[in-house]
Amino acid sequence: MPGRRVLDVGCGTGTPVAAWLVAQDRAVTGVDAAPAMVSRARAALPRQRWIEADMRDLALGESFDGVLAWCSLFHLAPDDQRRALTRLVAHLGPGGVLMFTSGTSEGFALGVFAGAPLYHGSLASGEYRARLEGLGLEVLDHREADPGCGGLTIWLARRP
């Protein structure tokens, strides 16, 4: 990562991802739509910045060296993912990197987590690539069904 400031979108409780970033001497701004998640993240890592916000409408008015949406973007419906990607890229500074996970193929599934319905969806890989490039990013890496990541697909792109 080129710098210290990371925006963790869909940060959840702040662990393990934000905690790992802090251990790597990164300054984390975490964003989650769920108040309970933001509260837990704030308790776990009180020196970092935590914001309750929806990634589809994110407008912090600042840029970051890295934007991360790990296991979060795919919980949105396709049109919402398209909208959120635009918002995430808007927060990248020059040379900044975007990393996110997606499913392995286009489609969706409904599951249950803690008794509540949980949406999982993905655009086609070609659409993710075209969207990233259309937003002015260079795709640096794309790993389909990465076994080290529970079979998720990993995307890494950079703003020139």
Q: Give me the pLDDT at residue 56, please.
A: 95
Confidence of residue 37 (pLDDT cuts 50, 70, 90): very high
User: What is the C-alpha to C-alpha distance for residues 125 and 131, in angstroms, rounded to an integer?
Assistant: 10
The answer to whether 56 and 31 are in contact (CB under 8 A) is no
- pLDDT level of residue 3 (50, 70, 90 thresholds): low
Mean pLDDT of the chain: 89
Q: Which residues contact 32 (CB under 8 A, 6 or more apart)?
A: 10, 11, 12, 38, 41, 50, 52, 53
Cβ atoms within 10 Å, residue 1: 15
For 58-113, write each residue's pLDDT tens digit: 999 999 999 999 988 888 888 999 999 999 999 999 999 999 988 766 656 666 56
pLDDT of the residue at 126:
94
Superfamily of domain 5-158: Vaccinia Virus protein VP39 (3.40.50.150)
The amino acid present at 110, given as its one-letter code, is L
Per DSSP, helices labelled H in the chain are 17-23, 35-44, 78-90, 125-134
